[in-house]
Structure 1
Amino acid sequence: MDQVVCEFREEGTTLPLFIKPKNGQDSAEFIIQWIGENKELLRQKILEYGAVMFRGFKIDKGVEFERAMQQFEPELSKDYHGTSPRKQLPGTEYVFTASELPRFFPIPQHIEMSFLAAPPRNIFFCCLDEPVGPGGETTLCDFKKVYEDIDPAVRQKFEEKEVMIVRNYRKGWTVFTDPTQLKGWPEIYDTDKKEEVEEHCRKSFQDFTWMKNDGLKLVNQRAAFENHPETGDRIWFNHLQTFHWYMISDEFYRIYKRMGLFKYLLLSWFAWFLKMILFIFIGPMNCGFHTCYGDGTEIPDAVNKHVRDVTWKNMVFNRWKKGDMIMIDNYRISHGRQPYSGKRLIVVSWSKPYLRPSLREKNE
Structure 2
Amino acid sequence: MDEITQSVREDGETLPLIITPKNGRNSVDFLEGWISKNASYLKEKIREHGAVLFRGFEIDKPHDFERIVLRYQPELSTEYRGTSPRSLQPGTNAVFSASELPYFYPLGQHIEMSFLPAPPKEIFFCCLIPPSSVGGETTLCDFAKVYRDLDPDVRRRFEEKGVMYVRNHTRLDRLLTIDPTMMKGWEATFGSSDKAFVENECRKHNVDFHWSGPKNDNIKMIHREAAIQHHPETNVPVWFNHIQVFNMQMVSSYMRHHCARAKSLFFYFAYVCLLLLTWLGGFIKPHDLGFTTLYGDGTVVPKEDVKHIDDAIRKNLVFNRWQKGDAIMIDNFRISHGRQPFRGKRKVVVSWSKPFLKPKAFSDCC
Shift of 1:274: 2.0
Q: Percent identity among equivalent residues?
A: 50
Shift of 1:11: 4.1
User: Residues 239 and 198 from structure 1, CA distance in 2 versus in 1: closer, same or farther, beyond 3 angstroms?
Assistant: same
2:318 corresponds in structure 1 to 316
Q: Tell whether 2:240 aligns with 1:237.
A: yes
Q: Deviations over 1:309-337 (max 9, x none)?
A: 11011111111111110000000000011
Return the letter of the residue paired with 1:210.
W
User: Residues 138 and 211 from structure 1, CA distance in 2 versus in 1: closer, same or farther, beyond 3 angstroms?
Assistant: same
8 Å contact from structure 2 (residues 224, 362) kept in 1:
no
Shift of 1:269: 3.1
Shift of 1:251: 1.6
Shift of 1:272: 2.6
Q: How many pairs are equivalent?
A: 361
Q: Deviations over 1:287-314 (max 9, x none)?
A: 1111111111111111111111110111
Distance 1:171 1:359 in 2: 30
1:341 corresponds in structure 2 to 343
Q: Tell whether 2:186 aligns with 1:185.
A: yes
2:271 corresponds in structure 1 to 268
Distance 2:273 2:345 in 1: 26
SS in 1 for 2:141: strand
Moved more, 208-217 or 301-310: 208-217
Shift of 1:261: 2.6
2:4 corresponds in structure 1 to 4
Distance 2:71 2:212 in 1: 44
8 Å contact from structure 1 (residues 245, 290) kept in 2:
no
Distance 1:243 1:234 in 2: 22
Two-structure CA RMSD over aligned residues (Å): 1.5
Where in structure 1 are there 5+ consecutive unaligned residues?
A: none
Q: Tell whether 2:249 aligns with 1:252.
A: no
Distance 1:231 1:110 in 2: 20
Shift of 1:178: 4.3
After TM superposition, the structure 1 = structure 2 runs for residues 7-46 of structure 1, keeping only pairs within 5 Å, are 7-46=7-46
Shift of 1:176: 2.8
Shift of 1:264: 3.1
After TM superposition, the structure 1 = structure 2 runs for residues 145-156 of structure 1, keeping only pairs within 5 Å, are 145-156=145-156
After TM superposition, the structure 1 = structure 2 runs for residues 115-134 of structure 1, keeping only pairs within 5 Å, are 115-134=115-134
8 Å contact from structure 2 (residues 211, 220) kept in 1:
yes
SS in 2 for 1:2: coil
Runs of 4+ in 1 over 6 A off after TM superposition: none
Moved more, 267-276 or 185-194: 267-276
Return the letter of the residue paired with 1:77.
S
2:282 paired residue among 272, 279, 282 = 279
Shift of 1:192: 1.3
User: Residues 144 and 349 from structure 1, CA distance in 2 versus in 1: closer, same or farther, beyond 3 angstroms?
Assistant: same
1:167 corresponds in structure 2 to 167
Distance 1:72 1:231 in 2: 20
SS in 2 for 1:186: helix
